[in-house]
């Protein structure tokens, strides 16, 4: 499961980076919609990282 979560994390990071790069190209403040997408991706990425950490801890405990 950890590898699937890491793959999902990588995909979401790529999308977030694309949105950030597009926002940087515009000579104005990004739209509220763009900012919301970036923020939602950050929340999802954080949740996935938390799940990866939890699974890593469980795997470490089960190997002891």
Q: What is the pLDDT of residue 59?
A: 84
Distance set, CA 59 to CA 2, 48, 62 (Å): 10, 16, 5
Residue 26 belongs to a domain with what CATH number?
1.20.58
- Cβ count near 47 (within 10 Å): 12
Q: Taking the model in full, what pTM does it have?
A: 0.86
Ranges under pLDDT 70 in the chain: 64
Q: What is the pLDDT of residue 24?
A: 93
Q: Work out how many domains the chain is built from and give that number.
A: 1
């Amino acid at each position: 499961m950890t590898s699937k979560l890491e793959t999902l994390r990588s995909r979401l990071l790529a999308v977030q980076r694309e949105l950030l790069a597009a926002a940087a190209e515009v000579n104005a403040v990004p739209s509220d919609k763009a900012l919301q997408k970036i923020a939602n991706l950050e929340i999802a990425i954080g949740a996935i990282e938390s799940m990866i950490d939890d699974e890593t801890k469980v795997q470490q405990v089960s190997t002891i």
